[in-house]
Amino acid sequence: MRPRDRFGQSRVELSARLDFQNVVGFHHFSMPDSSFPAFHTRSFQEHGLWIFYSVLSGLLAGLAATVFLVLLKHATEFRMEHSGLIWLLPAAGFAIGWTYHHSGKSSAAGTHLILDEIHDPQNVVPLRMAPLILASTLLTHLVGGSTGREGTAVQMGASLSDQLSKVFPIRPEERRILLVAGAGASFGAAIGAPIAGVLFGMEVIHAGRLRPFAVIECMIASAVAYEVTRLLHAPHSIFSQYSGSWFELRSFLIILGCGAVFGILARTFMAVTHLVERLQVKWVQYPPLRPFYAGVLLAALFKLGGLERYSGLGLGVIQNSFSVESPALDPVLKLLLTALTIGSGFKGGEFIPLVFMGATLGSALSHFDPGSLPLLTSVGFAAVFGAAAGAPLTCAVMAMELFGWKVAVYAVAGCFIGNLFSGSQTIYRSQSEVTSSRR
User: In this structure, are 156 and 227 located in the same domain?
Assistant: yes
What beta strand segments (E) does 101-253 contain?
Answer: none
Number of H helices, E strands in the chain: 20, 0
What does the pLDDT read at residue 430?
A: 58
Range of lowest pLDDT (60-74, 203-217, 234-248, 345-359): 203-217
Q: Is the pLDDT of residue 59 over 50?
A: yes
Categorize the per-residue pLDDT at 138 as very low, low, confident or very high, splitting at 50, 70 and 90: very high
Give which of 399, 405, 392 is closest to 439, Cα–Cα. Answer: 392
Query: pLDDT digits over 224-236, tens only?
Result: 999 999 999 999 9
- Cα(148)–Cα(171) distance, rounded to whole angstroms? 33
What number is the average pLDDT over the span 411-435? 82
What number is the average pLDDT over the span 400-411? 97
What is the residue type of 12? V
Angle, vertex CA 45, rays to CA 43 and CA 49, nearest 5:
115
Could you tell me if 338 and 269 are in contact, meaning their C-beta atoms sit under 8 angstroms apart? yes
Quote helix, strand, coil % in the chain, to nearest 5. Answer: 70, 0, 30
What number is the average pLDDT over the span 4-15? 37
Q: Is the pLDDT of residue 329 over 80?
A: yes
What does the pLDDT read at residue 140?
A: 97
User: In this structure, are 256 and 149 located in the same domain?
Assistant: no
21 inside domain: no
Q: How far lies 201's CA from each of 15, 60, 421, in Å?
A: 25, 16, 22
Contacts 24+ apart (CB under 8 A), 102-109: 103/128, 103/132, 104/128, 104/129, 104/132, 107/132, 107/133, 109/430
Rounded to the nearest integer, the mean pLDDT of the chain is 87
What does the pLDDT read at residue 121?
A: 74
What does the pLDDT read at residue 35?
A: 45
Domain count, the chain: 2
What beta strand segments (E) does 22-122 contain?
Answer: none
Single pTM value for the model: 0.88
Categorize the per-residue pLDDT at 21 as very low, low, confident or very high, splitting at 50, 70 and 90: very low
What does the pLDDT read at residue 128?
A: 85
**End-of-domain residue from the set 201, 231, 261:** 231
Could you tell me if 17 and 206 are in contact, meaning their C-beta atoms sit under 8 angstroms apart? no
12 inside domain: no
What does the pLDDT read at residue 201?
A: 82
Q: Is the pLDDT of residue 180 over 80?
A: yes
238 inside domain: no
User: pLDDT: is 19 or 112 the higher one?
Assistant: 112
User: In this structure, are 383 and 302 located in the same domain?
Assistant: yes
4 inside domain: no
What CATH number did the domain enclosing 263 receive?
Answer: 1.10.3080.10
User: In this structure, are 99 and 187 located in the same domain?
Assistant: yes
- Cα(342)–Cα(252) distance, rounded to whole angstroms? 34
Range of lowest pLDDT (36-40, 140-144, 165-169, 219-223): 36-40
365 inside domain: yes
User: pLDDT: is 45 or 49 the higher one?
Assistant: 49
Q: How far lies 130's CA from each of 67, 68, 81, 173, 349, in Å?
A: 12, 10, 28, 22, 14
Query: pLDDT digits over 262-284, tens only?
Result: 999 999 999 999 999 999 999 99
What does the pLDDT read at residue 8?
A: 38
Query: pLDDT digits over 140-162, tens only?
Result: 999 999 999 888 999 999 999 99
Query: pLDDT digits over 364-394, tens only?
Result: 999 999 999 999 999 999 999 999 999 999 9
Range of lowest pLDDT (51-55, 120-124, 295-299, 365-369): 120-124
Percent of the chain with pLDDT over 90: 70
- Cα(416)–Cα(399) distance, rounded to whole angstroms? 13
User: In this structure, are 283 and 255 located in the same domain?
Assistant: yes
User: In this structure, are 175 and 309 located in the same domain?
Assistant: no
30 inside domain: no
User: In this structure, are 385 and 266 located in the same domain?
Assistant: yes
Could you tell me if 311 and 141 are in contact, meaning their C-beta atoms sit under 8 angstroms apart? no
User: In this structure, are 219 and 320 located in the same domain?
Assistant: no
Q: How many residues are listed for the chain in this entry?
A: 439
Q: How far lies 49's CA from each of 32, 35, 56, 70, 168, in Å?
A: 19, 18, 11, 32, 10
**End-of-domain residue from the set 203, 231, 259:** 231
Q: Is the pLDDT of residue 17 over 60?
A: no
Residues 369-380 as b or e (16 or more Cβ within 10 Å = b): eeebbbbbbbbb
- Cα(114)–Cα(238) distance, rounded to whole angstroms? 29
18 inside domain: no
User: In this structure, are 222 and 166 located in the same domain?
Assistant: yes
Query: pLDDT digits over 68-87, tens only?
Result: 999 999 999 999 999 999 99
Percent of the chain with pLDDT over 70: 83
Q: Is the pLDDT of residue 207 over 70?
A: no
- Cα(86)–Cα(312) distance, rounded to whole angstroms? 10
Give which of 163, 140, 165 is closest to 71, Cα–Cα. Answer: 140
User: In this structure, are 222 and 127 located in the same domain?
Assistant: yes
16 inside domain: no
Q: Is the pLDDT of residue 439 over 50?
A: no
What number is the average pLDDT over the span 57-68? 97
Range of lowest pLDDT (165-179, 204-218, 268-282): 204-218
Query: pLDDT digits over 298-309, tens only?
Result: 999 999 999 999
What does the pLDDT read at residue 431?
A: 56
Give the number of C-alpha atoms closer than 13 A to the C-alpha of residue 297, restricted to the C-beta side: 14
What number is the average pLDDT over the span 184-210? 86
Residue range(s) defining the domain that contains residue 209 = 39-231
User: In this structure, are 209 and 276 located in the same domain?
Assistant: no
User: pLDDT: is 95 or 21 the higher one?
Assistant: 95
Categorize the per-residue pLDDT at 429 as very low, low, confident or very high, splitting at 50, 70 and 90: low
Could you tell me if 266 and 354 are in contact, meaning their C-beta atoms sit under 8 angstroms apart? yes
What does the pLDDT read at residue 90?
A: 98
Could you tell me if 303 and 87 are in contact, meaning their C-beta atoms sit under 8 angstroms apart? yes
What does the pLDDT read at residue 211?
A: 63
User: In this structure, are 188 and 303 located in the same domain?
Assistant: no
Give which of 229, 170, 243 is closest to 197, Cα–Cα. Answer: 229
